[in-house]
Structure 1
Amino acid sequence: MMKRFYSSIGQGVEALHRRLAVGEVGFMSAAFVQQAAALVRSVHAQLLEVVGRLHLPAGERWLDEYMDETSRLWDACLLVRAGASALHAYSSAAAHAIHHLYDHDDDYIHAARAINAPRRHAAGLLQDNRALLHDNIHDPASLLLLDHRSPRDLNLNAFNGFRALLYALRNATSFLLAILLSATVSSCLPDHLISTCTPLPLPTAPGYASSMARLRHRVAQEMRALAAPAADGILMYEFRQARAAIDSLKADLDRVVATGTGYAHREDMAERAHLVKGCLAMLSSGAEAVIAELDDLFDDIVEGRKMLSDLCSHR
């Protein structure tokens, strides 16, 4: 039963690593981030499935420990959701600003001014996220559920092995939360993504530990491959692509205004604007998908707390 739980964690982590390794999803793409969020939800859901078979006693500390773990998980995911919501708002506002370029397809000065709006929005978003992190992350290790103690110090057999399940939940989700925060809020914890070290594995969970080690190694490689500016700030690929496309269009418009030459064809600027809107649409749908996964996780935690409270009171 518990081995199956550890094995399922390993399978989920391995699937995420495999999709990244073969190029099925891009590093920090919305699809990759959504799958990471889905894996966090899956690990929690599978823990709840096992709990009912452990014959846990009523009125003991096991329920308090579950509440503590899910409270930290909830707080971290709230930050991720806030970041994803801000990205969705940015994509909508930027798409609205880009739409005005079609109204000024031969007035390049007004077009250059119009495209400044999403650039200012992006800069403000980065500042807001830094403030958000400063206000909420006083202890990154606590927020990310990191536990550097040896399993030998934790009495993992407590509560018929329930504490071991919580330990696995914590260590499986800590790295995933670092990915989610870096993708949607800020790469504030690069050491957690670049480091390839892993927590000491559970003796009964070799597959889970080895799968996590492979994912960590792959993510560390991808992080080192990012150029310095790209590795700082919000890492979601679609956001970086949208910003780059907007900056490129702004530079092009500035050149046109400075030289007074205009575009060779009136349709050229509209085509460039259309490409930018495509990037923003992908960012919007990606942010929505991450938000949906997290909302489902919040519902699962609420239901899980009620289920375990009822279980505890009826033992």
Structure 2
Amino acid sequence: MMSSHSSSSTSVSGFFSFLARELNNLDHLFLSQNFMSINFLQHVLSSLRSFHSQLTLLVQKLHLPAGEKWLDEYMDESSRLWDACHLLKSAVSSMENYYSSGANMLSLISDRRRVLNAQLSRQVVRAINGCQMEMTALQEENKSLAETRAQNICLRQDENVVVDSKFNKYSGFRGVLYAMRSVSTLLLMILLSGLVYFCPEMSLLYQGGCQGISAFGSTFMVATTTLQQRVANAIGQLDCQPGILLHELQEARFAMDELKMEVESLLEYGQEAPPTIQVYDKVENLKSCLGILQCGAESIIGQLDDFFDEIVEGRKMLLGMCSHR
């Protein structure tokens, strides 16, 4: 029969193995996706939820003493996740104005039979200008969100725990919690860059993490460092400009720019006819881009809402467990 200490060690090592597997999966997925795509960011968010869920389950296995500091530390981390996810939800929800204004603009020009005269062309260009202003407003709003809230929420690390010996406290739970903070910070940084705002100085924040902490085991350390470096390298190679890096948002913006150029060229030549094949192709491309963006944004908001529920349930469960001991 396994001793309590041995059982705890198995549970803790299992948690680190789980973290390493998930991080390796994200690394492989990163290589197969467009940079900062909705699909990749959904998987990052799913991993964050899985880590929190596994952390909550681990607490039950470790039979930690009620009324001690580990509960405060768990609550602090779950509060940090809660606040960070509210920041993400605010940023993603703000995208609705952009794709809604885009859909309204497309309603002016989607009908192949409608004559694209100078008056309608100017109306379409004005509507596109309005959409582009929505994009500028979105970038500015998200930049403000990132500057005022992200530093305190997403990037806050526990600097008090600096030596391996402290990680063994509470049957190894303190080490688990520190690793969870480090990994969740990395994942939140990725989500922040994709969905809220990225500026070049933030690339430095992809460096650091858990290096040098032998208590976590080499597999977990390698997985964390590999994903950090993968994202940092991609950002460096792309020479990312300040802004929201979400791939589908950039695709919609480029598609809108192309449509505007096509309509403006018709105005320049004074053409009056049904939309040309080139115009209609660009209309269809933009319609597809905006549809994918809307679907992805709504899906991420749904995931975040589910995560809020899971955080509440986890906190209630652990508080209830401690009060019944």
TM-score normalised according to structure 2 size: 0.87
Cα distance in 1, alignment partners of residues 40 and 306 from structure 2: 18
Equivalent pairs counted in the alignment come to: 309
Cα distance in 2, alignment partners of residues 96 and 306 from structure 1: 44
The amino acid of 1:165's aligned partner reads V
Unaligned runs of 5+ in 2: 1-10
Structure 1 match to 2:255: 245
Distance 1:208 1:46, change over 3 A: same
Asked if 1:159 is matched to 2:170, the reply is: yes
User: 3-state SS of the aligned residue for 1:160?
Assistant: coil
Residue of 46, 50, 55 corresponding to 1:47: 55
Unaligned runs of 5+ in 1: none
User: 3-state SS of the aligned residue for 2:109?
Assistant: helix
CA RMSD of aligned residues (A): 2.2
Identity of aligned residues (%): 36
Structure 1 match to 2:220: 208
Q: Deviations over 1:26-51 (max 9, x none)?
A: 21000011111111101000111111
Structure 1 match to 2:22: 12
The amino acid of 1:38's aligned partner reads S
Q: Is the 8 A contact 1:196 1:217 kept in 2?
A: yes
Q: Deviations over 1:287-307 (max 9, x none)?
A: 122212211211111000001
Cα distance in 2, alignment partners of residues 267 and 163 from structure 1: 63
Following superposition, the deviation at residue 220 of structure 1 comes to: 1.4
Cα distance in 2, alignment partners of residues 155 and 208 from structure 1: 19
Distance 1:202 1:308, change over 3 A: farther
Residue of 277, 283, 297 corresponding to 2:307: 297
Cα distance in 2, alignment partners of residues 268 and 158 from structure 1: 66
Q: Is the 8 A contact 1:90 1:121 kept in 2?
A: yes
The amino acid of 2:141's aligned partner reads D
Cα distance in 1, alignment partners of residues 51 and 57 from structure 2: 10
Distance 1:132 1:198, change over 3 A: closer
Cα distance in 1, alignment partners of residues 274 and 311 from structure 2: 57
Structure 2 match to 1:255: 265
Following superposition, the deviation at residue 147 of structure 1 comes to: 3.7
Following superposition, the deviation at residue 141 of structure 1 comes to: 5.9
Residue of 203, 224, 238 corresponding to 2:236: 224
The amino acid of 2:17's aligned partner reads S
Residue of 277, 296, 301 corresponding to 1:286: 296
Structure 1 match to 2:128: 115
For 1:77-92, list aligned pairs within 5 A: 77-92=85-100
Q: Is the 8 A contact 1:84 1:184 kept in 2?
A: yes
Q: Is the 8 A contact 1:85 1:291 kept in 2?
A: yes
For 1:32-181, list aligned pairs within 5 A: 32-102=40-110, 105-107=115-117, 108-137=121-150, 140=151, 143-148=154-159, 151-152=162-163, 155-181=166-192
Q: Is the 8 A contact 2:115 2:272 kept in 1?
A: no
Q: Deviations over 1:44-82 (max 9, x none)?
A: 001111110111111112211111111111111111111
Cα distance in 2, alignment partners of residues 232 and 155 from structure 1: 39
Following superposition, the deviation at residue 160 of structure 1 comes to: 2.2
Q: Is the 8 A contact 1:97 1:115 kept in 2?
A: yes
Which entry has the higher C-alpha Rg, 1 or 2? 2
Cα distance in 2, alignment partners of residues 94 and 27 from structure 1: 23
Distance 1:197 1:63, change over 3 A: closer
